[in-house]
């Protein structure tokens, strides 16, 4: 089994999509071994507990320097024998230590079709607000490898989602999650666990 850690900061809907796939044996040899949250008391921690997955909180706000936060994350990943890291609504930046330790073994799901609406500051509702402001007719989600450039790693999978008349950032966010993020993320994890999508 390939030991997977999921890094989260919020409600954990993408984590839930992974849990659902895992419970149906759809991760192709991947095992959800650890959840790390950058915040206390978030819904993702409850989802992890309910699924029987070890969960740890490493509060980003307790660390003045990114390097120290990153070192704490890297240490916990190593101690738990993690082989693949999945960022699922993780709102903190990872530093060089973790990126080097898990080169080509960290993936992220982004709620747009990269290279559109991505990079620094593009997360959460802002992505969908900008898509609507720009007037695009199609948006979607992307799963990509993580490197030192925000949203700049090699693309693994993408899925398009139509923008509908009358969409708000909230309705668009929900549709992108339901039709793209929750579909792509488990699929990408399974592909990597089966060594079908490695650099």
Between the alpha carbon of residue 85 and those of residues 6, 19, 150, the distances in Å are 6, 15, 16
Instruction: Report which secondary-structure segment, H or E, holds 182.
Output: helix 182-193
- What is the SS3 string spanning 140-162? EEEEEECCCCCCCCCEEEEEEEE
Among the options 40, 110, 128, 144, which is catalytic? Answer: 110
- Residues 88 and 55: their CA atoms lie apart, in Å, by 14
40 is annotated as an active-site residue: no
- Residues 40 and 30: their CA atoms lie apart, in Å, by 26
Can you list the positions of beta strands (E) in the chain?
2-8, 30-37, 54-57, 84-87, 106-110, 138-145, 155-162
The two three-digit tokens of residue 74, written as one number: 């890297």
Looking up tokens 């149906």 gives 24
Residues catalogued as catalytic:
110
């Amino acid at each position: 089994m390939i030991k997977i850690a999921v890094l989260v900061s919020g409600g954990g809907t993408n984590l839930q999509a992974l849990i659902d796939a895992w419970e149906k044996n759809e991760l192709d040899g991947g095992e959800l071994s650890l959840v790390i949250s950058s915040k206390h008391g978030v819904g993702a921690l409850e989802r992890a507990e309910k699924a029987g997955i070890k969960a740890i909180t490493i509060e980003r706000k307790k660390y003045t320097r990114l390097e120290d936060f990153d070192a704490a994350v890297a240490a916990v990943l190593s101690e738990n024998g993690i082989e693949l890291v999945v960022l699922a609504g993780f709102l903190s930046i990872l530093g060089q230590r973790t990126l080097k330790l898990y080169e080509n073994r960290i993936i992220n799901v982004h709620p747009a079709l990269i290279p559109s609406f991505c990079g620094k500051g593009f997360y959460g509702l802002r992505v969908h607000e900008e898509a609507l402001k720009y007037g695009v007719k199609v948006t979607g989600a992307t799963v990509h490898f993580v490197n030192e450039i925000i949203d700049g790693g090699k693309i693994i999978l993408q899925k398009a989602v139509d923008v509908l008349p009358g969409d708000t950032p909230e309705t668009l966010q929900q549709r992108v999650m339901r039709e793209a993020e929750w579909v792509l993320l488990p699929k990408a994890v399974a592909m990597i666990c089966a060594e079908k999508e490695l650099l």
